[in-house]
A and B are shown apart, each in its own frame.
Chain A
Amino acid sequence: MTVIATSEGRSRSAVGQGFPVWLGLAPFALVLAVLFAAPVLSLLRLAFGEGAFTLAQFQRLIDVPVYRSVLGTTFGIAGLVTGLSVLVSYPLAYVMATVGPRTRNLLLILVLLPFWTSALVRTTAWIILLQSNGVVNQLLMAGGLTASPIAFVYNLSGVLIGMTHVLMPFVVLPLYAAFRNLELSTVQAAESLGAGPLTIFSRIILPLTAPGVVAGAMIVFMNAIGFYLTPALMGGPGQTMIAQMIATNINKELDWPFAAALASVLLVATVSLLALFQRRFGLDRLIEGGGGKAGEPFTVTSRGRSWGGWATVVAAVLVAAFLIAPIVIVFPMSLGSSPFLSFPPDSYSLVWYENFFSTSKWMAALTRSLQIAALVVVISVGLGTLAALGVSRMRPRWRALVETLFILPMIVPVIILAVGLYYLLAPTGLVGSIWGVTLGHVVLATPYVFITVRAALKSFDGNLELAALGLGASWPTMFRRVMLPGIAPGIAAGAIFAFITSFDDVVIALFLTNIRSRTLPKLMYEGVAHEIDPTIIAASCLIILVTILVLGANLLVSKRT
């Protein structure tokens, strides 16, 4: 133990034998250069004039106050949603780390459920729950808790509820992984020295889980900046976000130079914000955390749960209820017979399920979405893991720069990438095939894998690697036998995020698929300007049911063996 401890200082700089940095960085860098930088830049340069150089678009941005205020709103909402997501994720992640495997897996399914419902279905369910004659207000008024309905939706609270609901899983998963990496002995030591629950949380849990939180919070923040469906449907006019304006200028106004200017400003602002954050709080140091993980993983100490622990459990139950509330009402809604959604439905029927199975387009689109998502997971897990390995072996000087470059696809509005990719891929004939949309999704999904694996690598003990190599293992053997098991949770989280990114995308599919290659979300969005076809609710229910069955069966099998 002491020997290893003295080599600690060296271990982080000494690694690199057998694994060249370029091998890690090159594949993803190449993909980014061709499928991201080239198409995006070709569109963004329109902001500076087609032909002669001009800053007229930026002048308009400055002259018209509404754009500045929308930019402010965007960052404000993204910040609030990030804060809320972290706040509500702690109790849940804590409970997940301290219960038996059965309950834990159950909670895991729960956390992932919002991911499996289309954004359209989710927001519709929330509105039906929260509108002034909605389920929640009716319950509150029946219980005498309020005399007149509370305005939960069509304002800021609606946006925060809708966005936190779907983004918080991005924090829960890495945070749970961080909790698992905590050493029980640390907490036991603190307890025996008389630390109360609050002290333990602020002095031990908070700093040691910071890497997971920072990774999750970064994902939430950058994701939130690009949101526009949820704010448009659940918010009021005060919550218009910049992505919505960019999409309107691309699609409706056909003012691409101005859309490019808006996107450029958003990009620069987000990157500066990240840089500022990094300088002020030392992102790298925060992520660094961890250390030797030889001890027992974190769980409830032998003293049982403290009052703080129990309070957290109560909070976690509330958070769990928040997560499943809209999903629970989706099931009865899918059984309503009216094409206008209500809860509870006036009369019941299976007509939307019949519709799903009798019209071949729904099954075809679902199958295609699954195919594409599977391809995306395989490719992006490979690219992202290699990139994370490469970056962790880089000199610190360049690391921050490369890290930022690698997560840029999360910041650039998807519609800019989608249009750029169309121009790039149209001559190759890939538009309309499943490969065009797959490549687009790989660009979007790989940064998620990169971030989660990077976080996992940071809390991976370099001494283990050194020990294995020192004992004569080749680098590939060491990777397979020592490192891979260590960072597996990070890879798994990344794979899930990559799957969701592909499975939920509408914008790339809108531009790069046709009727023969359309994905399920694209099919769901067709005609949405006019109507919401309740078949999409039935489709969501089926996906949820299948997910629960598969995960549940997995649970049973793993329990028996």
Chain B
Amino acid sequence: MKKLLIAAAVAALLAPVAASAKEMTFASWGGAYQEAIRKAWITPFSKESGIKVEEDTGPDTAKIKAMVDTKSVTWDVVTGGGGGLMRGVKLGLFEKITPDMVKTDHVLPGARNDYAIPSEIFSTLIGYSTKAFPATGAQPKSFADFWDTAKFPGKRTLPDAPETVVEAALLADGVPMADVYKTLSSEAGLKRALDKIRALKPQVAVWWSSGAQPVQALGSGDVVMALGWNGRFQAGIDSKLPIAMAWDQQIPQVGFFMIPKGAPNKAEAVAFLNYMVKPENNARLSEYVAYGPVTEQAWASIDASRAANLPSTPERLKNALFLDIEWWAENGAKVTEAYKAMLKE
């Protein structure tokens, strides 16, 4: 009995110490993506800092909003795309991240944001079947080729949401990169984009809703060309599916890490973000998935063979139109309605 009492007393003394051991919770989308983040950043960060990182999954913006509203935030860092970030910022779901918290001078200017730290760059581009278009003949290179069904016959697949598709349509129609969003902002410009897509509709066999679909459709031969994500096409290529990518024209997007408002371990979260965005660390993610670094300084740590599969090399960014997340936050609802209506015709 006495021993038990002593044990309890010792435990009571130790308890506050144990509670103050530093930890934080990171939430992302599970699967191969979260596994890559774990290997590239979470495990080495824990080892270096002594901060224990708990993982969770499913950081839907709706759930973040519910957490923030009910003051029951359990996540310290969440991942998300530009759309979720902008809508969340509008509703005040994320902490502002100032330069004295996380330094981002070295990050690509187009990728910076006041409420998030960019983690990686992925890209929407053309993937095509090398069975239909082998290297011996003509291979599609530009969005104009995607629309050219005479030169490159066969079925296509496009996303069932308008992001990246309306941009690609205008680029294919000859609008210069710098004018794409200006054009889309006008009634006539949006109509021009939708008309271009409408003209291709009979050749579109699949309107995809999940990133795995375009690869599956290319692999089975149901389509010969797809507008999809480079990381997915790369995974297909790595599994020996007959697929190649056209790198000459692309629409890159940025992946972000955010701190939900009221996160319980903000200091640890900031430490993690600082670690993740350091050039030599940021470079590491591309060892596990085909996503590019967000800073030019990272290329020093990436060898040429790996760089060949990544979308954000200085060379490739020259012909790239970054998805304008602020434009989409402003116009997304309206454009989505028009796009869905065009598809339903």
Task: Name A's B-contacting residues (CB within 8 A).
Answer: 64-66, 69-70, 127-128, 131-134, 154, 232-233, 236-238, 240, 250-255, 338-342, 415, 419, 422-423, 426-427, 431-432, 510-511, 514-515, 518, 522-523, 526-533
Q: Is B309 an interface residue (CB 8 A)?
A: no
Residues of B within 8 A of A510 (CB): 58, 60, 63
Question: Closest CB of chain A to B201's CB: distance in Å?
Answer: 9
Contact pattern, B 192-226, Cβ under 8 Å of A = 1, otherwise 0: 00000000000001110111110111011110000
Q: A64-B337, A237-B207 are in contact. Are A340 and B72 (CB under 8 A)?
A: no
A276-B69 Cα distance, complex, nearest whole Å: 40
Docked-complex contact B57 and A341, CB < 8 angstroms: no
Docked-complex contact B210 and A529, CB < 8 angstroms: yes
Question: Closest CB of chain A to B74's CB: distance in Å?
Answer: 7
Residues of A within 8 A of B337 (CB): 64, 66
A338-B30 Cα distance, complex, nearest whole Å: 20
A514-B26 Cα distance, complex, nearest whole Å: 12
Could you show 23 A-B contacts with beta carbons less than 8 Å apart? A65-B341, A128-B220, A131-B222, A132-B222, A154-B207, A237-B160, A240-B160, A254-B62, A254-B88, A338-B240, A340-B236, A341-B216, A342-B219, A415-B62, A422-B63, A431-B72, A511-B66, A514-B74, A515-B55, A526-B30, A526-B57, A527-B30, A529-B210
Q: Is B33 an interface residue (CB 8 A)?
A: yes
Of chain B, the residue at the smallest CB distance from A240 is B340
Docked-complex contact A340 and B62, CB < 8 angstroms: no
Count CB-based A-B contacts (< 8 Å): 147
Q: A132-B222, A530-B32, A531-B32 are in contact. Are A252 and B160 (CB under 8 A)?
A: no
Q: A237-B340, A254-B65, A527-B32 are in contact. Are A338 and B74 (CB under 8 A)?
A: no
Residues of B within 8 A of A232 (CB): 160, 209
Docked-complex contact A529 and B344, CB < 8 angstroms: no
Q: A518-B57, A530-B33 are in contact. Are A133 and B222 (CB under 8 A)?
A: yes
Docked-complex contact B63 and A426, CB < 8 angstroms: no
Given known contacts A70-B344, A340-B239, A531-B31, what 9 new A-B pairs fall within 8 Å (CB)?
A66-B337, A127-B216, A232-B160, A339-B235, A514-B56, A518-B57, A527-B31, A530-B231, A530-B232
A66-B63 Cα distance, complex, nearest whole Å: 27
Q: Is B38 an interface residue (CB 8 A)?
A: no
Docked-complex contact A342 and B62, CB < 8 angstroms: no
Question: Closest CB of chain B to A534's CB: distance in Å?
Answer: 11
Q: Chain B contact residues: over half helix, strand or loop, or mixed?
A: helix
Q: Is B186 an interface residue (CB 8 A)?
A: no
Which of A419, A422, A522, A531 has a CB less than 8 Å from the CB of B235? Answer: A531
Residues of A within 8 A of B87 (CB): 252-254
Residues of B within 8 A of A237 (CB): 160, 207, 340, 343-344
Which of A69, A415, A431, A528 has a CB less than 8 Å from the CB of B210? Answer: A528
Contact pattern, B 27-56, Cβ under 8 Å of A = 1, otherwise 0: 001111110000000000000000000111
Docked-complex contact A423 and B344, CB < 8 angstroms: no
Q: Is B264 an interface residue (CB 8 A)?
A: no
Size band of the interface chain B makes with A: 35 or more
Residues of B within 8 A of A531 (CB): 31-32, 211-212, 232, 235
Q: A65-B341, A254-B61 are in contact. Are A340 and B219 (CB under 8 A)?
A: yes
8 A-B pairs with least C-beta separation:
A527-B31, A526-B30, A237-B343, A426-B70, A66-B341, A426-B72, A422-B66, A254-B87
A400-B206 Cα distance, complex, nearest whole Å: 44
Residues of A within 8 A of B205 (CB): 132, 154
Of chain B, the residue at the smallest CB distance from A527 is B31
A154-B205 Cα distance, complex, nearest whole Å: 7
Question: Closest CB of chain A to B315's CB: distance in Å?
Answer: 26
Docked-complex contact A527 and B33, CB < 8 angstroms: yes
Docked-complex contact B83 and A340, CB < 8 angstroms: no
Q: A237-B160, A518-B57 are in contact. Are A423 and B66 (CB under 8 A)?
A: yes
Residues of B within 8 A of A70 (CB): 340, 344
Residues of B within 8 A of A238 (CB): 343-344
Residues of A within 8 A of B29 (CB): 526-527, 529-530
A43-B345 Cα distance, complex, nearest whole Å: 32
Question: Closest CB of chain A to B194's CB: distance in Å?
Answer: 13
Docked-complex contact A252 and B61, CB < 8 angstroms: yes
Docked-complex contact B344 and A69, CB < 8 angstroms: yes
Of chain B, the residue at the smallest CB distance from A154 is B206
Question: Closest CB of chain B to A421's CB: distance in Å?
Answer: 10
| Residue among A65, A128, A253 with most chain B CB within 10 A | A253
Residues of A within 8 A of B212 (CB): 528, 530-532
Q: Is B241 an interface residue (CB 8 A)?
A: yes
Question: Closest CB of chain B to A9's CB: distance in Å?
Answer: 54
Q: Is B333 an interface residue (CB 8 A)?
A: yes
A296-B194 Cα distance, complex, nearest whole Å: 66
A427-B67 Cα distance, complex, nearest whole Å: 10
Residues of A within 8 A of B189 (CB): none
Docked-complex contact B241 and A340, CB < 8 angstroms: yes
Question: Closest CB of chain B to A241's CB: distance in Å?
Answer: 12
Question: Closest CB of chain A to B144's CB: distance in Å?
Answer: 24
Q: Is B332 an interface residue (CB 8 A)?
A: yes
Contacts of B240-293 to chain A: CB distance below 8 A = 240-241
Docked-complex contact A131 and B63, CB < 8 angstroms: no
Question: Closest CB of chain B to A244's CB: distance in Å?
Answer: 9
Q: Is B91 an interface residue (CB 8 A)?
A: yes
Residues of A within 8 A of B63 (CB): 422, 510-511
Residues of A within 8 A of B72 (CB): 426-427, 431
Docked-complex contact B62 and A527, CB < 8 angstroms: no
A251-B59 Cα distance, complex, nearest whole Å: 10
Docked-complex contact A427 and B88, CB < 8 angstroms: no
A64-B90 Cα distance, complex, nearest whole Å: 24
Of chain A, the residue at the smallest CB distance from B69 is A423
A302-B239 Cα distance, complex, nearest whole Å: 61
| Residue among A65, A341, A342, A515 with most chain B CB within 10 A | A515
Residues of B within 8 A of A522 (CB): 57-58
Of chain A, the residue at the smallest CB distance from B201 is A237
A251-B217 Cα distance, complex, nearest whole Å: 27
Question: Closest CB of chain B to A237's CB: distance in Å?
Answer: 3
Of chain A, the residue at the smallest CB distance from B209 is A232
A133-B63 Cα distance, complex, nearest whole Å: 40
Contact pattern, B 133-148, Cβ under 8 Å of A = 1, otherwise 0: 0000000000000000
Question: Closest CB of chain A to B259's CB: distance in Å?
Answer: 18
Residues of A within 8 A of B222 (CB): 131-133
Of chain B, the residue at the smallest CB distance from A510 is B58
Residues of B within 8 A of A427 (CB): 70, 72
Question: Closest CB of chain B to A346's CB: distance in Å?
Answer: 8
Residues of B within 8 A of A69 (CB): 344
| Residue among A518, A526, A530, A533 with most chain B CB within 10 A | A530
Question: Closest CB of chain B to A91's CB: distance in Å?
Answer: 33
Of chain B, the residue at the smallest CB distance from A509 is B58
A427-B66 Cα distance, complex, nearest whole Å: 11
Of chain B, the residue at the smallest CB distance from A252 is B83
Residues of A within 8 A of B30 (CB): 523, 526-527
Question: Closest CB of chain B to A357's CB: distance in Å?
Answer: 18
Residues of B within 8 A of A66 (CB): 337, 340-341, 344
Residues of B within 8 A of A431 (CB): 72
Docked-complex contact A251 and B60, CB < 8 angstroms: yes
A411-B58 Cα distance, complex, nearest whole Å: 25
A252-B61 Cα distance, complex, nearest whole Å: 7
